């Protein structure tokens, strides 16, 4: 083989560098396309929905007239459902994560639980809706209530909370446990006074990401049969005639933000597009601010913790 | 001597009782925690139980052969046909469109972030991608129907108001962050020494990325693609909003069509009585959906095991 001349070698290098640069441009293009889409999405909703950003929009019930319709029952419903979801998913998820990291022996039961959790994360959310329809709505007789919806979303985000709890616990060095046990603490005391407090920021990040996912979920809630047109609020405790009990609201019919948006988006009347845009922006603002808090927490955690 | 026991020290028998109590409490707590961990297993069992038991009732009315080979899906008509292929075609076409967008774009972003970008770009880009991944799917559905479809109609005036194409494109954008983030993690896990070896031989960055880093991380890339496929197959709201909900056996993305998921939404929006054949169809459709995602997951785990490279 004839050796290359200096010019030829330079040409080879130049070609390689050119290809590198072309790819760099392509990479930046793809990345900025993703960013442009986020911006376009938000801008579109802000511009279209701007005339609805009034106090009335937040305080009115759904209505047949687009200009009078509001999202009161939707955001109240979303908050109540999130409350039930958090109440069910956080203790279960943290306890399960704690068990798998601190208690579980390496045996087939643990293996099954671990494989199961990673597979559950890949199950489509609408399948959870079918599960809830069969079990919560009909077998347990909870009906199409806030309770059914909250428990469904809790099962849906359980894998997220378990995984983030485990990651947070795994990052705690063994010497913390050894120190605690050396002064006579039991395993539970070690968990209660050391592991859980130190893992708290990580757990919190997972909880927020999980709830942000749950608040935007539509499919499972539609599947259990949430109504799309609700012009009343769930009964507040100790109000009304006869007085509602403390927990009567959990069995009330409800609607949530994503369902309200779906309802408005699928109407042929373009006036409802404006409502859908405004409600979409409110939902986006909720979800993105929750995610931003989680990302910030994680960033802060990474900087502060030095064992 | 017993009169001297005022020093505050507990007697041996008290200490033993205290220890027994403490051990008992520890056992109880462990059992409670195990119970919490078992909830996830019970969720799986519950899913299988509900889908299978309702599907068994469904298949006592409709033969499996008809279910798999019929070319019409009209479960709510008097002349009922139950050909799941109609819904599967919609699911496959929309998923294919989504993956054609998401896999190239996600992979390019992952290679760029892991091999080319400096720390500052990465620090900004990763959270932004995460935010994109966190946008609710109903908002994407709104975007597909009311923004992307009109733009596409501007270029292709014959495109109908509902189409698998615009739903699929937006679904692809939705999936990009999953592929980018998982693939980037896989490529960053490739040891630096392999890149240094390639650079020492005179390779350019791109050559190193494509011929050294990507092959070494291929099992992670495959896993991210498989996850993307299950996301696309199971996606519901974008399709329910933007792809129309009429059953349509087609392989043409420019047509409207129902998918397995959007059919379930359509039935749930109506008011079908519990126990009717129409009610049971959504569980049979859900079982089909679960089986499809299961096949891809098993394939993914097999691929990961086969091509796993350890350093």
Contact criterion met (CB < 8 Å) for A128 and B234: no
For chain A, how many structural domains are there in total? 2
CB atoms closer than 10 angstroms to residue A182: 9
> Would you state the pLDDT for residue A130?
92
Q: Is residue A1 a part of any domain in this protein?
A: no
Query: Residues A107, A36: one domain?
Result: no
Whole-angstrom distance, CA of residue A239 vs CA of residue A245: 8
Query: Residues A39, A75: one domain?
Result: no
With beta carbons under 8 A apart, name residues in chain B contacting A45: 139, 142
Contact criterion met (CB < 8 Å) for B22 and A186: yes
Per-residue pLDDT of chain B (311 residues; tens, 9 = 90+): 444 555 567 778 888 888 888 889 999 999 999 999 999 999 999 999 999 999 998 888 888 888 888 778 887 777 778 888 888 999 999 999 999 999 999 999 999 999 998 888 888 888 888 888 888 999 999 999 988 888 999 998 888 888 899 999 999 999 999 999 999 999 998 999 999 999 999 899 999 999 999 999 988 898 899 889 988 999 989 998 888 888 888 888 888 888 999 999 888 887 777 778 888 889 999 999 999 998 888 888 888 787 776 66
With beta carbons under 8 A apart, name residues in chain A contacting B58: none
The interface residues of chain B toward chain A in range 63-82, judged by CB-CB distance below 8 A, are: none
Query: Residues A10, A58: one domain?
Result: no
Query: Residues A143, A27: one domain?
Result: no
Q: How many CA atoms lie within 13 A of A7 on its CB side?
A: 0
ipTM of predicted assembly, 2 dp: 0.87
With beta carbons under 8 A apart, name residues in chain B contacting A225: 268
With beta carbons under 8 A apart, name residues in chain A contacting B26: 186-188
The interface residues of chain A toward chain B in range 197-226, judged by CB-CB distance below 8 A, are: 209, 212-213, 215-219, 222-225
- If you measure CA to CA, which chain B residue comes closest to A162? B37
The interface residues of chain A toward chain B in range 140-179, judged by CB-CB distance below 8 A, are: 155, 158-159, 162
> Would you state the pLDDT for residue A243?
60
Query: Residues A141, A41: one domain?
Result: no
Gyration radius of chain A over CA positions: 26
Q: Is residue A122 a part of any domain in this protein?
A: yes
Distance in Å, alpha carbon of B249 to nearest chain A alpha carbon: 22
CATH number of the domain at A90, please.
1.10.3720.10
Query: Residues A165, A42: one domain?
Result: no
Among 3.40.50.300, 3.40.462.10, 1.10.3720.10, 3.40.50.720, what is the CATH number of B85-307?
Answer: 1.10.3720.10
Quick check: helix, strand or coil at residue B208? helix
Domain encompassing residue A253: 53-304
Distance in Å, alpha carbon of A26 to nearest chain B alpha carbon: 8
**pTM of this structure:** 0.87
Maximum CA extent, chain B = 104
Query: Residues A126, A256: one domain?
Result: yes
Query: Residues A77, A209: one domain?
Result: yes
Q: ∠B218-B219-B221 over CA atoms, to 5°?
A: 60
> Would you state the pLDDT for residue A228?
66
Query: Residues A114, A157: one domain?
Result: yes
With beta carbons under 8 A apart, name residues in chain A contacting B31: none
Per-residue pLDDT of chain A (307 residues; tens, 9 = 90+): 678 888 888 998 899 999 999 999 999 999 999 888 888 888 988 888 888 777 777 877 777 777 777 788 888 889 999 999 999 999 999 999 999 999 988 888 888 898 888 888 889 999 999 999 989 888 888 888 889 999 999 999 999 999 999 999 998 999 999 999 999 898 999 999 999 998 988 899 899 999 999 999 988 998 887 776 676 777 766 666 566 666 777 788 888 899 988 888 888 788 888 888 989 999 998 898 888 888 888 777 766 665 5
With beta carbons under 8 A apart, name residues in chain B contacting A119: 44, 297
- If you measure CA to CA, which chain A residue comes closest to B224? A122
For residue A173, what are the contacts with CB-CB under 8 A and spacing of at least 6? A307
User: What is the H or E stretch that residue A94 is in?
Assistant: helix A72-98
Of A165, A153, A160, A99, nearest to A129 (Cα)?
Answer: A153
B116-140 pLDDT, tens digit per residue, is 988 888 888 888 888 888 889 999 9
Nearest to B293 among A96, A123, A159 (CB): A123
The interface residues of chain B toward chain A in range 264-303, judged by CB-CB distance below 8 A, are: 264-265, 268-269, 274, 282-283, 286, 289-290, 293, 297
With beta carbons under 8 A apart, name residues in chain A contacting B204: 16-17, 19-20
User: How many cross-chain Cβ pairs, A to B, lie less than 8 Å apart?
Assistant: 250
With tokens 């038991």, the residue in question is B53
Test mutation, B108, B268, B284, chain A, max A CBs within 10 A: B268
Query: Residues A266, A198: one domain?
Result: yes
B244 Rama class: left (phi>0) / alpha (psi -120 to 50) / beta: left
Query: Residues A157, A248: one domain?
Result: yes
Q: Is A46 on the interface with B (CB under 8 A)?
A: no
Domain ranges of chain B: 7-60, 85-307
Q: Residue A274 in contact with residue A51, Cβ under 8 Å?
A: yes
Contact criterion met (CB < 8 Å) for B34 and A258: no
With tokens 């909830």, the residue in question is B39
Whole-angstrom distance, CA of residue B269 vs CA of residue A270: 21
**Any bridge partners for residue B73, and if so which?**
B82
Nearest to A158 among B39, B141, B206 (CB): B39
Q: Is residue A11 a part of any domain in this protein?
A: yes
Q: Residue B212 in contact with residue B151, Cβ under 8 Å?
A: no
> Would you state the pLDDT for residue B1?
44
- If you measure CA to CA, which chain A residue comes closest to B148? A41
Q: Is B212 on the interface with A (CB under 8 A)?
A: no
Q: Is A282 on the interface with B (CB under 8 A)?
A: no
Query: Residues A98, A28: one domain?
Result: no
Q: Residue B285 in contact with residue B247, Cβ under 8 Å?
A: no
Maximum CA extent, chain A = 99
Q: Is B46 on the interface with A (CB under 8 A)?
A: yes
Contact criterion met (CB < 8 Å) for B134 and A287: yes
A159-192 pLDDT, tens digit per residue, is 999 999 999 999 899 999 999 999 989 899 999 9
Q: Is residue A44 a part of any domain in this protein?
A: yes
């Amino acid at each position: 083989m004839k050796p290359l001349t200096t010019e030829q070698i330079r040409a080879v290098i130049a070609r390689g560098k050119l290809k590198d640069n072309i790819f760099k441009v392509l990479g930046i293009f793809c990345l900025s396309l993703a960013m442009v889409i986020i911006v376009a999405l938000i801008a579109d909703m802000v511009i279209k929905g701007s005339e609805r950003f009034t106090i009335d929009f937040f305080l009115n019930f759904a209505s047949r007239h687009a200009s009078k319709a509001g999202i009161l029952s939707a955001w109240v419903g979303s908050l109540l459902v999130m409350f039930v979801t958090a109440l069910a998913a956080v203790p279960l998820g943290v306890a399960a994560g704690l068990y798998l990291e601190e208690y579980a022996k390496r045996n087939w039961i643990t293996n099954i639980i671990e494989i199961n959790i990673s597979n559950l994360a890949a199950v489509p959310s609408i399948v959870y809706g079918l599960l809830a329809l069969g079990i919560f709505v009909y077998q347990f007789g909870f009906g199409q209530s806030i309770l059914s919806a909250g428990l469904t979303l809790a099962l849906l985000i359980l894998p997220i909370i378990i995984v983030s709890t485990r990651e947070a616990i795994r990052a705690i060095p063994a010497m913390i446990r050894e120190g605690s046990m050396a002064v006579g603490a039991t395993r539970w005391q070690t968990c209660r006074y050391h592991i859980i407090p130190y893992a708290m920021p990580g757990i919190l990040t997972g909880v927020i990401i999980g709830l942000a996912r749950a608040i935007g979920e539509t499919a499972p809630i539609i599947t259990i049969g949430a109504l799309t047109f609700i012009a009343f609020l769930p009964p507040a405790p100790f109000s009304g005639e006869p007085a509602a009990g403390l927990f009567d609201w959990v069995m009330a019919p409800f609607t949530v933000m994503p369902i309200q948006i779906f309802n408005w988006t699928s109407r042929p009347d373009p006036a409802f597009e404006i409502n859908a845009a405004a409600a979409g922006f409110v939902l986006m603002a909720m979800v993105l601010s929750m995610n931003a808090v989680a990302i910030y927490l994680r960033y802060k955690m990474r900087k502060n913790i030095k064992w | 001597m017993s009169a001297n026991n005022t020093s505050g020290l507990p007697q041996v028998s008290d200490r033993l009782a205290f220890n027994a109590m403490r051990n008992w409490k520890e056992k109880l707590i462990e059992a409670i925690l195990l119970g919490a961990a078992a909830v996830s297993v019970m969720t799986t069992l519950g899913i299988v139980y509900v889908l299978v038991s309702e599907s068994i009732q469904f298949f006592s009315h409709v033969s499996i052969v008809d279910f798999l080979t019929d070319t019409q899906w009209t479960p709510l008509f008097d002349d009922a046909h139950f050909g799941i292929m109609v819904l599967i075609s919609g699911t496959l076409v929309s998923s294919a469109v989504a993956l054609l967008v998401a896999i190239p774009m996600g992979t390019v972003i992952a290679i760029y972030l892991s091999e080319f970008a400096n720390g500052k770009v990465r620090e900004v880009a990763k959270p932004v991608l995460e935010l994109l991944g966190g946008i609710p799917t109903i908002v994407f559905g709104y975007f597909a129907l009311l923004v992307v479809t009109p733009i596409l109609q501007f270029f292709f005036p014959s495109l109908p108001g509902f189409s698998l194409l615009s739903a699929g494109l937006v679904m692809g954008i939705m999936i990009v962050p999953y592929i980018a983030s998982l693939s980037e993690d896989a490529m960053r896990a490739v040891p630096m020494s392999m890149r240094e070896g390639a650079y020492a031989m005179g390779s350019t960055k791109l050559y190193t990325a494509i011929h050294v880093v990507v092959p070494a991380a291929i099992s992670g890339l495959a896993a991210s693609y498989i996850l993307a496929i299950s996301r696309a197959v199971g996606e519901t709201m974008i399709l329910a909003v933007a792809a129309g909900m009429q059953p349509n056996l087609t392989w043409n993305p420019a047509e409207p069509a129902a998918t397995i998921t959007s059919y379930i939404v359509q039935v749930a929006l109506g008011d079908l009585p519990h126990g009717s054949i129409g009610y049971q169809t959504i569980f049979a459709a859900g079982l089909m959906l679960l089986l499809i995602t299961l096949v891809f997951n098993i394939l993914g785990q097999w691929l990961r095991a086969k091509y796993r490279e350890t350093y």
